[in-house]
Structure 1
């Protein structure tokens, strides 16, 4: 059977790639980067055969013509390569991916969308770049819709994670599995609710999300300008509370959040914490080691990282 050997949750920001030199909170940025290096070392030491990669979509792989709540990559996977993140084909463990999809659906617990030609964006490729650099390991990508409402509830995310946990355990081959969650913590992107845009910038963004599948580059310059003009909205108090939940093995409390409650407390970007919740659920909510937390306004985001290591879990007598 497959064995889960490590879980990692880490924030992402493409501004880390594109605006490193312009970052004035350099010490904070360096501490976060160093923590990613430390997490990468932990992943390498775990000797994974496969990484299950939970990430969000930023309207590079999915557009408003079709937005499933959850999509599992079961074949080809291509990274869009925006803002200095990896571009091109990614190595997928197709056998495990198809086992997970089949087991979750056939068990009757979840109707999971799948893609045999999946495109991912920095919601996952940022983790490939910084957490899997130099580690030759295939992935199983799962894209969670966190930016195009209505969003899957946190409770529903937990239910899928538990179904995936059992599907991993039922895999007949021996595999060492690492689970990575990419996204969060608190931040607010200048992105509208597509159902009710206000003003020229929001109308532009919604049009890009509708029409960008074939001509994304036509929208990219203005889209980037809108993002760069945004003011940071980081909530260190919220982030500290969430990281404490992970550290004390109480991350399941995230499942009680509603979409509106979370946005009010921590911004629309905090909806990415769905992936952290799912990672923790797959690892049975064992206590996490907090590697770092830095509020970096230039990146618009509270940047954190945690590691969940089953080998460090106390043995129950």
Structure 2
């Protein structure tokens, strides 16, 4: 019998790898890193065979020549390896991934895109590095478009999570499945709306997103310079409210936001909370447990970690 054994939501930042020595709030950074280790220990205790890894992509695996709302990796999965994150082939649970794709389509609810050779970036490989290291679990990667509007609605992400839950539980094999949502919390990236770039930097970014499929590395240095020059825009009050909803099993209330309202409340980077929402939906919104929340201006992001454990609910 296949069962869903754990959910984890975790922020990501490549600046953990590249600028740790320049981090001023070391106490906050260490608490966040320790929380990642706690979440990794919780995953190890849950003993998943497979992790459904829900994440964003920062225009290193997807470009403006083709941006699906949702893409399942059903074959090879290659990590781009930027900024010290894992690089190269990642182990995919192909039977479960293809079962999900087939079931979602056959059920008439979601025509998800699929890739037999999916390239992921730190939107998922950061979680592989810090949460899945040494577990020996395979992954089913699911990429959500959170950066190239029009974005899938938050309600649509909630619905997809419920459909994935049903499909996982109907899998005829014997799997222990965990789900990880990677991204968020509040932050603002110096990224334009691709439909209306304003100024030289924004035009450069849109050009990189459009033309970088075969040479994204050529654009990377200036991309990172633009990001490093940005001022932090973190909204701790929003982050605290969202984490409180997650702890109460009410993350579905995030669906009250439109994409525009979410950006206004917590920045364009908060669009990544679709990955947490989707994860929580697969876990049927069992009450969560916050492991850390640290506003990290050096990393431009409100950094959070939480665990959703169905066993906690059963014990309660």
Q: Paired residue for 1:145?
A: 145
Q: Paired residue for 2:221?
A: 221
* Per-residue Cα deviation, 1:82-107 (whole angstroms, up to 9, x for no partner): 00000000000000000000001001
Give, in whole Å, the separation in 1 of the partners of 2:217 and 2:139. 27
**CA shift for structure 1 position 120:** 0.3
Measured on the aligned residues, the alpha-carbon RMSD in Å equals 0.8
Q: Which runs of 5+ in 1 are unaligned?
A: none
Q: Paired residue for 1:126?
A: 126
Give, in whole Å, the separation in 2 of the partners of 1:55 and 1:140. 11
**CA shift for structure 1 position 238:** 0.3
Q: Which runs of 5+ in 2 are unaligned?
A: none
Q: Paired residue for 2:75?
A: 75
Q: Paired residue for 2:241?
A: 241
Q: Does 1:154 align with 2:154?
A: yes
Q: Does 1:275 align with 2:298?
A: no
Q: Residues 118, 129 of structure 1: CA spacing in aligned structure 2 closer, same or farther, 3 A cutoff?
A: same
Alignment of 1:84-233 (within 5 A): 84-233=84-233
Give, in whole Å, the separation in 2 of the partners of 1:63 and 1:112. 17
Give, in whole Å, the separation in 1 of the partners of 2:180 and 2:315. 24
When the two structures are superposed, what TM-score results if normalisation uses the length of structure 2?
0.99
When the two structures are superposed, what TM-score results if normalisation uses the length of structure 1?
0.99
4+ runs deviating over 3 angstroms: none
Determine helix, strand or coil for the equivalent of 2:240.
Answer: helix
Count of matched residue positions in the alignment of Structure 1 and Structure 2: 316
Give, in whole Å, the separation in 2 of the partners of 1:266 and 1:286. 24
Q: Paired residue for 1:5?
A: 5
Determine helix, strand or coil for the equivalent of 1:88.
Answer: strand
**CA shift for structure 1 position 315:** 6.2
* Per-residue Cα deviation, 1:2-30 (whole angstroms, up to 9, x for no partner): 10000000000000100000000000000
Give, in whole Å, the separation in 1 of the partners of 2:276 and 2:218. 33
Give, in whole Å, the separation in 2 of the partners of 1:13 and 1:53. 16
Q: Paired residue for 1:43?
A: 43
Give, in whole Å, the separation in 1 of the partners of 2:185 and 2:217. 28
Give, in whole Å, the separation in 1 of the partners of 2:291 and 2:103. 34
